[in-house]
Amino acid sequence: MTTDNHNITVSGLNVEVVRKNIKNLHLGVYPPLGRVRVAAPLAVSDDAVRLAVVGKLGWIKRQRAKFQAQPRQSQRRMVSGESHYFMGRRYRIRIVEGSTPMRVALRGKAGLDLFVRPETSTERREELLQAFYRSELKNLIPSLLDKWQPILGVEANAWGIKKMKTKWGTCNIAARRVWLNLELAKKPIQCLEYILVHELLHLIERHHNDRFRSLMDQYLPHWKAHRDELNRSLLADERWDY
């Protein structure tokens, strides 16, 4: 459990320090802006954290430079020809104005049609697409739960989908409730599966420790590739270390 969370300055860098009941110190640089965070064991002092950061300054600067060089997703205008992602594939949307019920429909392998009223605002078009993403995830998740809960020997009492700024998924262990980020609809289904397994395993092991990583290796041997896929996302505000 985290017992302390504060910031220190090291060579002009703002560093977030989080102390946890862990064995080793973990240093990370996170997108999109290169935030520096250190997860440290409870007994490690701020001076020891400073030394660790100083020893990694070159690496930290290189990581921050990579993030700053990454292209940023432009503001969505929700107009014909604009690119949007669904299940890891890029689709070009086509706005179809008319009097038919408003909906979203896939067109072949690269097209996505938005049927809207002529006066529909950009915000309402975006809401329509988000509703499509939510509906598709709701259709996919039950089969994944049916697959993985018997394998892992656990069962969630409830699950849900919501937009989250810093997490791809969370697990309320006490309530046995799993939340999945709506943005996963844009990623390959293997990423959705990885996050679901990750959160379900927290019902076995609460912490991101050696046992947790061993369970991930056992049940999902290629989980690190899916983690890295999510960490490369332009939408990711948080880097997943586990």
Which domains does the chain show, CATH number per domain?
A: 4-69 (no CATH), 83-231 (3.30.2010.10)
Question: In the beta sheet, which residues pair with residue 107?
Answer: 111
| pLDDT higher than threshold 70 for residue 240 | no
Q: Is the pLDDT reported for residue 30 higher than 70? A: yes
Query: What pLDDT digit, counting tens, does each position of 133-172 carry?
Result: 999 999 999 999 999 999 999 999 999 999 987 789 999 9
Q: Which residues pair with 37 in a beta bridge?
A: 16, 28
Token digits of residue 35? 């935030």
Please tell me whether residue 173 adopts helix, strand or coil conformation. Answer: coil
From 19-28, 83-92, 168-177, 224-233, the region with the lowest mean pLDDT: 224-233
Between strands 177-181 and 158-162, the pairing is: parallel
Tell me which DSSP letter residue 182 carries: G
- Position 73 confidence tier, pLDDT thresholds 50, 70, 90: low
Are the CB atoms for 18 and 2 separated by under 8 Å?
A: yes
The SS3 assignment for 121 reads coil
What is the identity of the amino acid at 5? N
Higher pLDDT, 182 or 233: 182
3-state secondary structure of 48: helix
Tokens of 122: 């950009």
pTM of the predicted structure, to 2 decimals: 0.74
- Please say whether the beta carbons of 149 and 159 come within 8 A: no
Whether 102 contacts 116, CB under 8 Å: yes
